[in-house]
Chains A and B, each alone.
Chain A
Amino acid sequence: MLTINLAILLPFLAALFILLFLRRFRRFHIGWFVLIIPAILFALLLRQIPNIANGKTLIHQINWIPSFDINFISYLDGLSLVFGLLITGIGTLVVLYSIYYLSTEQSLVHFYIYLLLFMGSMLGVVFSDHLMVLYVFWELTSISSFLLIAYWYQRKGSRYGAKKALHITVLGGFAMLIGFLMLYVVTGTFSIREIIETIHLYKDHSLMTPMIILILLGAFTKSAQFPFHIWLPDAMEAPTPISAYLHSATMVKAGIYVVARFTPVFGGESLWFWLVSSIGLLTLFWGSFTAIRQTDLKALLAYSTVSQLGLIMTLFGIGSLSLHPDIHVESVLYTQAVFAALFHLVNHSTFKGTLFMVIGIIDYQIGTRDLRRLGGLISFMPISFTIAIIGSFSMAGLPPFNGFLSKEMFFTAILHLKDFDFFSIQTFAGIFPVVAWIASVFTFIYSMMIVFQTFFGPYKEQPGVEAKEASFGMLIPPVTLSALVVLIFFFPNILGDYVIKPAVLSVYPGVTNEMIGSISLWHGFNKELLMTIGIIILGIILYIYRTYFKKVYIAFPRNISFDTLYNNALEFTDRLAKGITNFYMTGYLRHYVMYIFLFFIIVLGGSLYYLGAFTFSLNNDQPVHPFVWMIASTIVIAGMTIFFAKTRLTAILVNGYIGFAIAMLFVLFRAPDLALTQLVVETVTTALFLLCFYFLPEWEKTKVVRKVKMTNIVISISVGTIFTLIALSVKSGKLFRSISAYFENADELAGGKNIVNTILGDFRAFDTMLEVIVLFIAGIGVYTLIKYTNNKGVEKLEDK
């Protein structure tokens, strides 16, 4: 039972182990240690094959956040087993390859830690039954892939590629998270198994459409489907073992996995079918079409990966049809599409892994992977040539390699699409085989380019490089993979019966083994075979006349592409954000104060007006004392005088006058303590003003633009008005009785006759204490501001 959890955790533990113990090894290639991990996991998973083939599943739960219904549920069934075997199997070979590919002079610790992180999180993705856990591992794959692409972080291209991959995959990841949350809201559970069991109750739910779109967005970005495929070619800046592992065999298949996993949930929905199959088809076509124009072998392989992923996606789209309620599960036509998809998935991993490794070898030995500078390597590198030819012929779909079988099955599925008469498929069914066929012709052409332009033709010598075969160790992994390519062709049913069929069964729980049937090597003469022959003939013709054929690409200039769109979008948002920020963050204090007061006016004034809070009456007013009239009017006049003061001395003195007049008001309002304090404080403040004024520059005659002046006036008058209105409304409102009656017991309670002073020193002495602290801090502030100079600080630092 523990197997699956162990499989997920082991790579993480190994990464930790490297970090803690193997960091110091300089001469020992730690790849040998890492190699053990995927090998063990592969063996463990192989042992599960008989169990799974017999229809058993493994499930294990560890509580993580039970209160939020988030638990670490790992689940192993046919589908996750296929992916698990791919991840660990190809992982073993890639680690072996990287041991020879990377020398100990590189930072191996980083490389293998990132690789193990990736492996663990990828296993987590395929073995998780819980949506949130799945999402966590999903993002971990994005992050570890980001780290791996930027492994040579000194290079600009690596950093660009890594950032692009992260942007796009995380964008999709977020969309998927929202989709998952919707799924939780609809079904009330995070467990994929339980969702599959109950989803038929919610087929008409209004969230169905956004859910499908969001989850597919996640799958499409990860699996580099059109138009999100642009990150994959740029991710080729990673070391070749990484390209082989992440960007052909595993990470890009995470999206495929999600589509396969959610086929039982959304299968039979028209939107799901149309999105998956048409985007898949478009990707298939566009990827193979663009691959031909590449001159960098790795970029060519990247586009070919895009195209093959599109093919697999299309098959899953067709396969989802068999879950339509009007289709009997017994009609295995469309379930076979899923069988073909999974079969091609495995095949693609084998031949694409092979090809990446061969190209890595060429790059390593010759020093370039530019098609225009390569040629005639056949006599120098015979083994690499053999492997390359196996890989590319399999990719082109030629016998006797496994690509042939899956491509035939692909044609079968796509030709049968016209038998289906829902979703107005009949109208478009004719397009599917045509587009697929043309794409296959392109696939054939670029597969030939890989072999013939690299290994045939005149040998172009690279300066300072002697072409020779790679070391034995480096050749083991591609040889193993290419052996698999051939073996799967001759014995497809071993793989089909034991691994793929259980996987199909986990997509369609109702189907039995016998219904799917077995893969036949030879269908007899039928439409599919004719299509393949057509591909070969047209492909050869086009390959020979490729210099003419390539003129087609003039219609697709490089500066009009999705890459440009991506770059421009980034640049545009960057400029937009900068523009907006610079628009309001001017650096002028006046503007910031204006924003504050504008909000005061609009939000406070507006909402109070809206709520009808501005009401006032004069009923409870005291009669106005003539002295108050006098003092108030002088204060207003003094306030105005400040604006027009010719010298700062006038301004300061008038300011002082206002303070004293306020003290007079306090006297009139029978607040003796206030009047006293106000008098003293105003005196000191005025003295301070006068002191400062001595050091300040001369009072400028304010020359302001009329418009600025007008806005200032408008703002200050409206702020004053709103302030007055609030004051008047509060005053006129219905109030609770004051609590001050209690303080009139000051003599009995506090032993003092001055009520204000007992409040300050007894009832609310806490305020007073803190106020004293404020004064204390202000004093320290004033002292340091005057005494402290920057130069002294520097000297002190230097003294030490």
Chain B
Amino acid sequence: MEFIICILAGILFATGVYNILQKQLLRIAIGTGLISHAAHLFILTMGKLKRGQPPIILEGITEYTDPLPHALILTSIVISFGVTSVVLVLAYRTVNENNTDNMEQLRGNEYE
């Protein structure tokens, strides 16, 4: 099963990168979201999948899935949520100020 999830994470990463390489801000925001999904799956897979019961202590259970990756991912989800919200509001402000969300037009003039 780890095999499948690794490939899935890789595909999500690739789609994320492809979206980041696009011009529109919204696509870039979606791309970053996809990459964080890939990273979460990656962390989870590295902790071995499904080797026991959910990490909640109950009488009579000796095997739990690894709880540490869960804690790490939980932290990561919250942080990426914070970042995504800032990116989205930033996109909103950018469009408000510049009337475009095309990255090719948002590159300043001093290089030309």
Contacts and interface: CB of A to CB of B under 8 A. Distances in A.
Interface of A: 582, 585-590, 593-594, 597, 618, 620-625, 628-629, 632, 635-636, 639-640, 642-643, 648, 651-652, 655, 658-659, 662, 665-666, 668-674, 677-678, 681, 684-685, 688-689, 691-693, 695-697, 699-700, 702, 704, 712-713, 715-717, 719-721, 723-724, 727-728, 730-731, 738-740, 743-744, 746-747, 753-756, 759-760, 764, 767-768, 771, 774-775, 777-779, 781-782, 785-786
Given A692-B26, A692-B92, A764-B71, A719 B55 contact: no
B75 A681 contact: no
A674 B73 contact: yes
Interface in B39-74: 40-42, 44-58, 64-68, 70-71, 73-74
Contact of A721 (B10, B45, B90): B10
B68 A719 contact: no
Given A716-B17, A727-B9, A782-B85, A740 B67 contact: yes
A646 to B, nearest CB: 14
Interface in B86-101: 86, 88-93, 95-96, 99-101
Contacts, number: 277
B107 A778 contact: no
B91 A778 contact: no
A697 B101 CA distance: 7
Given A727-B10, A740-B66, A760-B71, A774 B78 contact: yes
Nearest to B106: A589
Contacts of B64: 740, 744, 755
Majority SS at the chain A contact face? helix
Nearest to B7: A724
Which of B11, B44, B91, B103 counts the most A-chain CB atoms under 10 A from its CB?
B11
User: Chain B, interface size: which category?
Assistant: 35 or more
5 contacts: A586-B107, A622-B50, A665-B41, A713-B18, A786-B89
Contacts of A777: 82
A384 B47 CA distance: 95
A716 B71 contact: no
B46 A731 contact: yes
Given A628-B1, A643-B18, A655 B33 contact: yes
A662 B92 contact: no
A618 B3 contact: yes
A323 to B, nearest CB: 59
Given A674-B73, A692-B26, A695-B95, A594 B21 contact: yes
Given A639-B34, A662-B40, A731-B2, A588 B107 contact: yes
A715 B14 CA distance: 8
Of the candidates A727, A759, A781, the one having the most CB atoms from chain B within 10 angstroms of its own CB is: A727
Contacts of B41: 662, 665
Contacts of A671: 44, 54-55, 65, 70, 73
A673 B12 CA distance: 22
A625 B64 CA distance: 18
A716 B4 CA distance: 19
Contacts of B29: 689
Contacts of B34: 639, 655, 658
Given A665-B41, A719-B17, A759-B67, 14 more contacts: A589-B103, A593-B21, A594-B21, A629-B4, A658-B12, A670-B65, A671-B55, A712-B18, A715-B21, A728-B6, A754-B57, A775-B78, A781-B86, A781-B89
B3 A728 contact: yes
Contacts of B42: 723, 727
Given A640-B15, A695-B96, A716-B21, A771 B78 contact: yes
A652 to B, nearest CB: 8
B49 to A, nearest CB: 5
Contacts of A744: 57, 64
A697 B100 contact: yes
Nearest to A671: B70
A785 B30 contact: no
Contacts of A760: 71, 74-75
Contacts of B51: 622
Contacts of B85: 685, 688, 778, 782
Chain A CB within 10 A, most for which of B19, B29, B57: B57
B24 A621 contact: no
Contact of B71 (A618, A756, A781): A756
B111 A582 contact: yes
Contacts of A713: 18
A739 B1 CA distance: 23
A39 B67 CA distance: 84
Nearest to B52: A670
Nearest to A695: B92
A743 B46 CA distance: 18
Contact of A753 (B5, B56, B103): B56
A720 B11 contact: yes
Contacts of A594: 21
A720 B37 contact: no
Contacts of A662: 37, 40-41
Interface core residue of A670, A747, A760 (most chain B CB under 10 Å): A670
A632 B38 CA distance: 12
Contact of A724 (B10, B25, B26): B10
Nearest to B15: A639
Contacts of B37: 658-659, 662
A450 B12 CA distance: 84
A562 B21 CA distance: 49
B84 A685 contact: yes
A717 B14 contact: yes
Residue among B8, B24, B41, B102 with the most chain A CB within 10 A? B8
A689 B101 CA distance: 14
Contacts of B92: 692, 695-696, 785-786
B100 A743 contact: no
Given A587-B107, A639-B11, A689-B88, A756 B67 contact: yes
B2 A622 contact: yes
B50 A699 contact: no
B1 A756 contact: no
Contacts of A655: 30, 33-34
A688 B34 CA distance: 16
Name the residue among A643, A648, A662 with the largest chain B CB count within 10 angstroms.
A662
Interface pairs A-B: 4 shortest CB-CB? A720-B14, A724-B10, A778-B82, A587-B107
A678 B7 contact: no
Contact of A670 (B11, B17, B50): B50
A640 B8 CA distance: 12
B18 to A, nearest CB: 4
A738 B2 contact: no
A7 B86 CA distance: 65
Given A670-B54, A756-B74, A782-B89, A684 B14 contact: no
A785 B90 contact: yes
A685 B96 CA distance: 21
B68 A738 contact: yes
A290 B84 CA distance: 71
Contacts of B88: 688-689, 691-692
B105 to A, nearest CB: 10
A754 B56 contact: yes
A678 B77 contact: yes
